[in-house]
Amino acid sequence: MSDDSFLDEKGLGRAVPSSRVSRFMRLGGMTAGIGGRMLMDGAKQMASGQRPKVQDLLLTPTNAKKITHQLAQMRGAAMKMGQLMSMDTGEFLPREMTDILARLRADADHMPPQQLRTVLDKQWGKGWISKFSQFNVRPIASASIGQVHRARTKDGHDLAIKVQYPGVRNSIDSDVSNVASLLRLSGLIPKTLDVGPLMEEARRQLHEEADYVREGAQMDRFHALLADTPAFRVPRLYPDLSGPDVLAMDFIESVPIETLRDAPQALRDDVVTKLLELVMTELFTFHLMQTDPNFANYRYDPGTGQIVLLDFGATRAFTDDFAAGFRALLRAGLAGDLEEMRQAAIQIGYFTDGLKAHNQHSIMQMMELSMTPLRQGGLYDFADTSMSAQMRDIGMELGTDREVWHIPPPDVLFMNRKFGGLYLLATMLKARVDIRSIMQRYA
């Protein structure tokens, strides 16, 4: 294979803004443009006798399209935070905005061949193309932090190679600060809420996800942990081709997990059951969890029936005490013991003992409702969305009471993110699962 293959793809992709200044200008320009439209729209509404709210002026379809367009071009931490916002299913953000933000869970813009070659030259040295009999310049996937290419080595290994966008690692801190400023501008976050610890945790998490050496080590750990579990397959790492900006692994033929929505009911049930068992094993046995709920991290191999697990950048270790707190909550939930549930929730950090009694009651009402599938026994039908609708209603009521607003510990947030993503996947697949029998094995 020769360097000419890159020239054949001339004009492909959009360059990633890699300097801190250029990224700041992009976000600053986006914020200024949105702010200008807010002032104009606000003036129009006031002229017609209305008293507009700041969040109503910000969260418009026009502004959401501008945000997603700009974040998709920037990639990096800015896009990653937009993806997390898009995981909302209409409970907190307007449905129109979450639909538009959902674009960020699809492919990002990818970098052009020349920028790609610059990254690979830095990682592998010039002339690296001679190591491959085939290297597809057009990526097979593009995400917030990097893009993935398929390649075949001269000795016949079929690889997936993840290449990090240039400048992403150095822009994390400024991206997080700028997106946080946009959230504060929206008025969605009360001024009394200290989001500093959460922003610091977001920075730490994103720095870890941008550390491909760390991700490779975590992928190796999961490969070993699940080696004797035939239901799952984890790609094998190729350390000689991996480094800070490049991660090389086995390419595994598979299909997106979403394609199973049209599969037979028994297959959908089996896949979701295995994923629920895996997340419980991660929490209570491994004390190690891949916390990114993006559906793209799960694929299915029709040939072997295995679930393929990808992307271990968001892997998080939990302490014995943390797992013990959730085990206590699980046992109390299975037993229907509300006071034990309350004590476990306080121990974990969902709320403090000093929270007003009626607010504690509302939170416990939501928590008890979420435990319903655990206590009822038999198959729980995720196609029935009545429970999630009830939880949404309680959540909306809680969300309007700013005395309740409290940021739980980071471990709780990231674990809940994983559980929430898995719930959305199970709902999409309309699976039927005996949740109680799974949970009883870990209680």
pTM for this model (two decimals): 0.78
Q: Which residues contact 21 (CB under 8 A, 6 or more apart)?
A: none
Residue the block writes with tokens 């200290």: 194
pLDDT digits (tens, 9 = 90+) for 249-286: 999 999 999 999 999 999 999 999 999 999 999 999 99
- Residue of 250, 291, 61, 275 lying closest to 158 (CA atoms): 250
Backbone φ and ψ of 231, nearest 5°: -70, -20
The pLDDT score that the predictor gives to residue 330 is 92
pLDDT over threshold 60, residue 52: no
Flag whether 390 is in a domain: yes
> Is 110 in contact with 147 (CB distance < 8 Å)?
yes
Tokens coding 117: 């070659």
Flag whether 350 is in a domain: yes
pLDDT digits (tens, 9 = 90+) for 217-255: 999 999 999 999 999 999 999 999 999 999 999 999 999
pLDDT digits (tens, 9 = 90+) for 171-211: 788 777 776 776 666 555 556 556 676 677 778 888 888 89
Q: Which residues contact 3 (CB under 8 A, 6 or more apart)?
A: 117, 129
- Burial class of residue 11 in the structure, from the number of CB atoms within 10 Å of its CB (0-12 exposed, 13-18 middle, 19+ buried): exposed
- Mean pLDDT of the region 154-167: 94
Alpha-carbon span 280 to 375, nearest angstrom = 17
Least confident of 78-92, 198-212, 310-324: 78-92
Could you tell me the residue range of the domain that residue 326 belongs to? 254-443
The pLDDT score that the predictor gives to residue 167 is 82
Flag whether 363 is in a domain: yes
Q: Is 384 a catalytic residue?
A: no
Max Cα distance, the chain (Å):
73
Flag whether 281 is in a domain: yes
- Mean pLDDT of the region 38-55: 47
Flag whether 267 is in a domain: yes
Q: pLDDT class for 386, splitting at 50, 70, 90?
A: confident
Q: pLDDT class for 39, splitting at 50, 70, 90?
A: very low
Flag whether 389 is in a domain: yes
Mean pLDDT of the chain: 78
Return the axis-axis angle of helices 20-47 and 61-74, rounded to nearest 10°. Answer: 180
- One-letter amino acid for residue 413 of the chain: L
Flag whether 392 is in a domain: yes
Active-site option among 109, 175, 270, 292: 292
**Number of residues that make up the chain:** 443
pLDDT over threshold 80, residue 141: yes
Least confident of 92-101, 332-341, 364-373: 92-101
Flag whether 366 is in a domain: yes
How many domains does the chain contain in total?
1
Q: How far, in Å, are 19, 20, 82, 97 from residue 175 at the CA level?
A: 11, 9, 11, 21
> Is 381 in contact with 434 (CB distance < 8 Å)?
no
